[in-house]
Structure 1
Amino acid sequence: MRVAISACLLGVPVRYDGGSKPVSEVMELAGKVDVTRVCPETASGLPVPRPPAEQLGGRVLLADGRDVTAEFDLGARRCLDAVRRSPVRLAVLKAKSPSCGVGLIYDGTYSGRLVPGQGVFARRLEEEGICVVTEDTVKSCKPSVEHPVAIVLGSGLGHLGSLVRPVRRIDYRDIEGFPQDARPVAGHSFEATVGSIDGVPVVVYPGRIHLYQGYSAAEVTALVRHAHHLGCRDVVFACATGAVPGQAHTGLGILTDQINLTGRNPLAEWEGLRDVESPFVDMNDAYSPYLRTIARGVADDLGIAVEEGVYAGVLGPCFETPAEVAALSTLGVSYVGMSTVCEVVMARALGMNVLGLTLAANESGAPAVSHETVLAEAEKHAEDFEALVRGVLRLL
């Protein structure tokens, strides 16, 4: 996987003051991927050191008042040409700068105040369809003993738990909010494992409960709240689904967005909502673009066939009728299942970074589908699924 990274984040002295801003998490990522180093300012011929620059009214001005908009545009074009010469999917850029800022930039008053906006180079990369993040995202997603990665597994996917080098195990009945009378369906287990996979700290939950079993949305998201309580900032949700004909094929998939068709929302039932500042959770990029891009890059590097698409969560437990499948296709849905959507809502409410992976075990609406055939199909893809998850953990 090749990643474009701001040179200053790698310790190269190219900043306006002649220094750099090395970030250990970014440098660690750089040691695991192929890197295209970028610095639009120096690529444009601007000297080092130089007066600081900020955007104001669509222009880029140095602190001494000189207009360097043309120079910043030239540097952005030259760096974009370098990125185009290699298959870059991801760019990690210096936050807040007039060239590389993502989402927030300095406002042109040199007061340190931030306003919504994009850097000149960051905007060009996004127009190319490249995922652009700052060092803050890389740091936020970095696992540690204090912040392990939570992995919630669905039907037939629980075997990933066998890869964990355990430190301790937690019976689901000891998890606050999890129903004491719950019994796992086939392909699920109700004992979480805290430990590591390939040296990466994880908490693996090898099973879940579902709305169709009669549990509330608050109950089915108890594992998410537990993971957050343990310090998890990243959560991987894996689920078995049906592939909507014409939108996706059977096999592994990366979830890009979701449609909640269950008629339930865990936030409407969660007592903890009373303690948060606002109940209105932003669901844009609910599935982290950074984590999705990492997963895509891992799959490509390993030669694992993976598609991407929108997930629709339904109440279940019936499989879909032909008319429902046609409606889902019209809605642009690629995958349909009976879990995950409420969990993602809860994870986003708690500020967690979400990666959604699916095994499309059958064609949605096809005859002769059963829970047993889903489990059998999951077994066929077990090796690729494990390799994909391990690859993502390694890059994080």
Structure 2
Amino acid sequence: MRALISKCLLGVACRYDGGAKYCNAVVDFANKLDKLTVCPEIAAQLPVPRPPAEQQGTCVVYKDGTDVTQEFVDGAQQELLRTKDFEPTIAVLKAKSPSCGVDRVFDGSFTGNLVLGDGIFTQLLKREEMCVVTEEMLEDVKPSVEHPVAIVLGTGLGHLASLVAPVRRIDYHDIDGFPMSAEPVSGHKFEATVGTVDGVPVVVYPGRIHLYQGYSAAEVVSLVRHAHRLGCKDIIFACATGVIDGNATPGLGVLTDHINLTGANPLADKDMLRDLDTPFVGMQDAYSFYLRSLAQGVAKDLGIKLQEGVYAGTLGPSFETAAEVAMLRSFGVSYVGMSTVCEVIMAHALGMNVLGLTLATNDAGDPTVNHETIRIQAEKHADDFERLVRGVLHLL
């Protein structure tokens, strides 16, 4: 996998003040992949040290008022040419700067105030549809004992739990909000494992309950709330799905967005407000672009075909009619299943970083499909799924 990384984050003294912004999380990440180091200001041959610069509208100015917009544009364009030759998957750039800031930049008042916007170089990268993040994202998603990665597994994918070096096990029935009477369906197990996979701290939930079993949305998301209370910042949801012919093909996929057709929402429950400031949560970017990009980079390195697509969550337990499949195809849906959407809504509302992975086991609406055939097909792809998840955990 290849990544662009700001030189200053790796310890190169190229910032305006003659220093660097060394970041351990970025250095650790850089040591696991091929990297191209970048600095638009150095590419523009601006001196080090130099006066501090910030964006004022569409311009970049020094603190004394000198307009250096053209220099910043020239440097950004030069680095973009190098970027296109290198073909990276992800860019990790210095937060807030007029060249490399992502989503927020200093406002030009030189008082430390921030405004919404991207740096000059970041704007060019986003036009190329590249995932661009800052060192703050890498620091936030980096797993630790205090912040393990949560992994919720679906039908036929529970074998990943056997890879965990366990520290403790937690019966689902001991989890607050999980229904005491619940029994697992075939291919699920109701015991969470806290431990490590390849040295990465994780909490693995090898099964889930579903709305179609008669449980409420609040009960369905009890595992997500539990993971959040354990300190998990990142959560991986895995599910078996049907594929909408014409929009995707059977195999592994990463979810980019979803359509909630279950008729339920976990935030429409007064008890959920114990964990939330408000139930009115925006769902833009519910599926982390950064984690999706990591998964795509890992899949490419491992030779695993990994598609992308929109997921439609239905109530179930009946499978889709021909008319429903046609409707979903017209909606741009690639995958359809009976889980995940309520869990993702809850995780996003709690501020967790979400990666949605699916194994599309069959064509949606196939009259020969049943729960057992889905489980069998999922198990056939278990090896690639495990390699993909382990690769993502390694990069985190």
Task: Show the counterpart of 2:329.
Answer: 329
**1:60 and 1:69 in contact (8 A); partners too:** yes
The residue identity in structure 1 corresponding to 2:165 is R
2: CA distance, partners of 1:164 / 1:278 = 35
Distance in 1 separating the partners of 2:84 and 2:130 = 10
Output the CA distance in 2 between the equivalents of 1:170 and 1:383.
26
Aligned to 2:68: 68
Report how far residue 57 of structure 1 moved: 2.0
Structure 1 residue 224 corresponds to structure 2 residue 224? yes
Letter in 1 for 2:281: V
How many residues align? The count is 396
Residue 103 (structure 2) aligns with? 103
Q: Which amino acid aligns with 1:23?
A: C
Structure 1 contact 218–270 (Cα < 8 Å) conserved? no
Q: CA deviation at 1:281?
A: 1.0
1:212-258 CA deviation, whole Å, 9 max, x = no partner?
A: 00000000000000000000000000000001010010010000111
Shift of residue 270, structure 1, vs aligned partner = 4.7
User: Aligned equivalents of 2:149 and 2:276: distance in 1?
Assistant: 24
Give the deviation of 1:272 after TM superposition.
Answer: 3.3
Counterpart residue type for residue 210 of structure 1: H
The alpha-carbon deviation at position 366 of structure 1 amounts to: 1.7
Amino acid at match of 1:278: T
Q: Within 5 A, what are the aligned runs for 1:245-256?
A: 245-256=245-256
Asked if 1:306 is matched to 2:313, the reply is no
> C-alpha displacement at 1:64, in angstroms?
1.6
Question: Counterpart in 2 of 1:138?
Answer: 138
| Correspondence for 2:260 | 260
Q: Note closer, same or farther for the CA distance 1:275–1:167 as it changes in structure 2 (3 Å cut).
A: closer
Equivalent residue, structure 2, for 1:37: 37
- Confirm or deny: 8 A CA contact 2:276 2:349 kept in the other structure: no
Normalising by structure 2, what TM-score?
0.99
1:214 corresponds to which residue? 214
Shift of 1:275: 5.8
Q: Which residue of structure 2 lines up, in the alignment, with residue 4 of structure 1?
A: 4
SS in 1 for 2:267: helix
User: One-letter code of the match for 1:337?
Assistant: G
Between the aligned residues of both structures, percent identity stands at 66
2:230 maps to 1:239: no
Please, which moves more after superposition, 225-234 or 360-369? 360-369
Q: Secondary structure at the match of 2:89?
A: strand
1:45 deviates by 0.9
TM-aligned CA deviation for residue 278 of structure 1: 2.3
The 3-state SS of whatever aligns with 1:193 is: strand
Q: Give secondary structure in 2 for the equivalent of 1:253.
A: strand
* Runs of 4+ residues over 2 Å off in structure 1: 274-278
The 1-side partners of 2:178 and 2:275 are apart by: 20
For 1:31-180, list aligned pairs within 5 A.
Answer: 31-180=31-180
Q: 1:325 to 1:117 in 2, by over 3 A?
A: same
Matched ranges for 1:274-293 at <5 A? 276-293=276-293
- What residue number does 1:192 align with? 192
Tell me the amino acid that sits aligned with residue 283 of structure 1: M
Q: In structure 1, list runs of 5 or more residues that go unmatched.
A: none
- AA of the residue aligned to 1:37: T
Write the letter of the residue equivalent to 2:114. L
SS in 1 for 2:208: coil
Quote how far apart the aligned CAs of 1:273 are: 1.2
3-state SS of the aligned residue for 1:388?
A: helix
Q: Residue deviations 1:76-125, cap 9 Å, x none?
A: 10110111001211100100001111111000000000010110000100
Shift of 1:65: 1.1
Per the TM alignment, residue 371 of structure 1 is displaced from its structure 2 partner at its CA by 0.8
1:299 Cα deviation from its structure 2 partner: 0.2
- The CA distance in 2 between the partners of 1:49 and 1:172, in whole Å, is 57
Q: Supply the AA of the counterpart residue of 1:307.
A: Q
1:391 corresponds in structure 2 to 391
Q: CA RMSD in A?
A: 0.8
CA separation in 2, counterparts of 1:11 and 1:121?
20
1:202 and 1:275, CA in 2 relative to 1: closer, same or farther beyond 3 A? Answer: closer
Offset at residue 10 of structure 1 (A): 0.5
Given the superposition, is the C-alpha separation of residues 274 and 194 from structure 1 closer, same or farther in structure 2, using an over 3 Å criterion? closer
The 1-side partners of 2:76 and 2:57 are apart by 19
Report the AA paired with residue 202 of structure 1: V
- Separation in 2 of the partners of 1:324 and 1:387? 34
Q: Secondary structure at the match of 1:318?
A: coil
Distance 1:259 1:49 in 2: 51
Using structure 1 for the length normalisation, give the TM-score. 0.99
Residue deviations 1:192-227, cap 9 Å, x none? 000000000000000000000000000000000000
CA distance in 2, matches of 1:303, 1:272: 41
Residue 102 of structure 2 aligns to a residue whose secondary structure is: coil
